[in-house]
């Protein structure tokens, strides 16, 4: 935060507190609680007059106490621009302290589970409960709480793995992340709209969907030139590249003509973030076992 904004925020905060203090004091001056000298505001409705009585003392002192408490809080904790407070507290420091406490408390348990092979660990109920919590905190935002995915986010409960569903593949994905890139029009940047229509109909034919038979037949040659380099001549995909199998029912971006056409014309870019900077090696091992268990 720049010096200007730091000063500006400090002035606003302190001005508000002292302004409230002044307002309380200024409105109390000249007021009295003597019932014989009670004054009215001059407003009257239906025979009822509005009195101009002061706040009860306990209420007034409670407001003043709030102002004093605010000043004390701002002296000890962050709240005045760049001033960090006399205690030096920060939310980052608090988070790091809690992480250290959690590591000290659960580190031994993580380490013990980290030595168990993933297929065996997937059968350990306590470990899978830990894995489920790790998944909920780190993965569910994209893949869903039930891990069934969404448009652009893979379903982890089936056997359609982009990069392989073996334990080592899952660990690699979680540790280093993945970067998917489907180039627009594949290896045929000059693909015409007619050729796009042909290859889309050809792809639709893999899973028996409604298509134009003549266009699908012509699209085989277009597919061989523009798409087979990644998806394979038989369109069953290539897990080493993350190229999906086009012959099953697991569609990452939808299986209608319109969805496939958009994919062919504009391409797709997908990124799975690496978890190695957020989770320890043992935590990734437990999380991988949980993901492995979802489809096994």
Extents of the domains making up the chain: 97-177+273-294, 181-272
Q: Are 249 and 255 within 8 A, CB to CB?
A: yes
> Residue ranges of the chain with pLDDT lower than 50?
none
The pLDDT of residue 42 = 78
Contacts of range 58-65, beta carbons closer than 8 Å, 24 or more positions apart: 60/24, 60/28, 63/20, 63/24, 64/21, 64/24
Q: Give the Cα separation of 265 and 259 in Å (integer).
A: 10
Q: What is the architecture of the domain spanning 181-272?
A: Orthogonal Bundle (1.10)
Burial 235-264 (b: 16+ CB within 10 A, else e): bebebeebbbbbbeebbbeebebeebbebb
Do 97-177+273-294 and 181-272 come out as alike in CATH topology? yes
Q: Let me know: does 81 contact 7? Beta carbons within 8 Å.
A: yes
Determine the angle formed by the axes of helices 281-294 and 125-138, rounding to 10 degrees.
100
Question: What is the reported pLDDT for 103?
Answer: 83
pLDDT at 147: 97
Topology of domain 97-177+273-294, per CATH? Cytochrome Bc1 Complex; Chain D, domain 2 (1.10.760)
For residue 33, what pLDDT is reported?
A: 57
pLDDT value of position 41: 75
Strand partners, 284: none
> pTM score > 0.85 for this model?
no
Return the pLDDT at 55. 81
């Amino acid at each position: 935060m720049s010096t200007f904004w730091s000063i500006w925020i400090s002035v606003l905060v302190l001005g508000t507190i002292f302004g409230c203090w002044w307002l309380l004091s200024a409105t109390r001056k000249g007021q009295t609680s003597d019932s014989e000298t009670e004054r009215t505001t001059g407003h009257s409705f239906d025979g009822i007059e509005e009195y101009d009585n002061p706040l009860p003392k306990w209420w007034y002192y409670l407001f003043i106490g709030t102002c004093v408490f605010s000043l004390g809080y701002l002296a000890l904790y962050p709240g005045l621009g760049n001033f960090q407070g006399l205690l030096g507290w920060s939310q980052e420091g608090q988070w790091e302290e809690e992480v250290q406490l959690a590591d000290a408390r659960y580190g031994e348990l993580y380490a013990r589970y980290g030595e168990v092979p993933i297929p065996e660990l997937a059968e350990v109920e306590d470990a899978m409960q830990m894995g489920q919590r790790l998944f909920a905190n780190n993965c569910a935002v994209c893949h869903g709480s039930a891990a069934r995915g969404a448009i652009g986010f893979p379903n982890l409960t089936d056997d359609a793995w982009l990069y392989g569903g073996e334990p080592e593949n899952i660990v690699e994905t979680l540790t280093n992340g993945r970067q998917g890139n489907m180039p627009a029009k594949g290896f045929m940047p000059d693909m015409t709209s007619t050729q796009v229509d042909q290859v889309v109909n050809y792809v639709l034919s893999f899973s028996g969907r409604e298509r134009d038979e003549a266009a699908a037949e012509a699209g085989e040659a277009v597919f061989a030139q523009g798409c087979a380099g990644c998806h394979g001549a038989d369109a069953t995909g290539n897990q080493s590249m993350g190229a999906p199998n086009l012959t099953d029912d697991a569609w990452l971006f939808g299986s209608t003509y319109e969805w496939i056409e958009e994919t062919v014309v504009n391409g797709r870019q997908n990124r799975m973030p690496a978890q190695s900077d957020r989770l320890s090696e043992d935590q990734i091992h437990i999380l991988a076992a949980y993901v492995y268990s979802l489809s096994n």
